[in-house]
Structure 1
């Protein structure tokens, strides 16, 4: 497993963007809360309400703790996502208010490409690190992003209808 996330700035960005956007459905690619080592939807004085549907794509499934089945409403593995995507009971691709693409160093290139195509079609907004957003601009998948500055870093907020090219 990649090391546990201890960057308070990144954690603040994660919680604040979900809260301030009013998201009711969140796709958490890489399961950020798992990488933080949290055992609930609360950390660092912030949290995600139980009214928010939280879906996780687990990129480190070899570490499986039952507590994450309580934190996340649904969890699929990276392989399941690549093979099947994320669909509802009728077979339609699920739609999300926000997709979190944070701290994804361990994700395969195949999955990363599929994730970007999926979230540009099925999420209203994407939050990610500036470096990843810059790469997507260079590759032509997005036209730009809104920089979100915290105390120490700049992150990217991408409203997909406005700045996506898919």
Structure 2
């Protein structure tokens, strides 16, 4: 039986033959949570010199700190060994290059006829301003501990460089 996923199931069979991650614990061995974009140009572990098991990786469009991101960070801090959080958006991000959610809604509707106005995409063309806002959401969340190390940086998709953002 063939499906739209035959290629990935076949690749998984190869992966299973050389699987070496059995026995990893569910905690973040290096105590880090990374909030980054879903963009496939980002290799979060390699970018930061991490290995499987070192970090909790949270990915979404635009690397935004949404309510779901905060929920996940609360769990990661109290149950999965996270002691520090890095928020890492990237250059040339589609979610930071549009005028706002309305532009995305309009583009989807005009191309596909799907009304997405019930969703909030969290677009913001002031990427550094959005990053600073999101860092504040983490730092001031009432369920996250005071003193949790929280920083922001921007990943350059053209060079691989990570540049800290003063926030």
TM-score band, normalised by shorter chain? 0.3 to 0.5
Superposition TM-score, scaled by structure 2 size: 0.34
Larger radius of gyration: 2
Determine which structure has the larger strand proportion and give its number.
1
Superposition TM-score, scaled by structure 1 size: 0.35
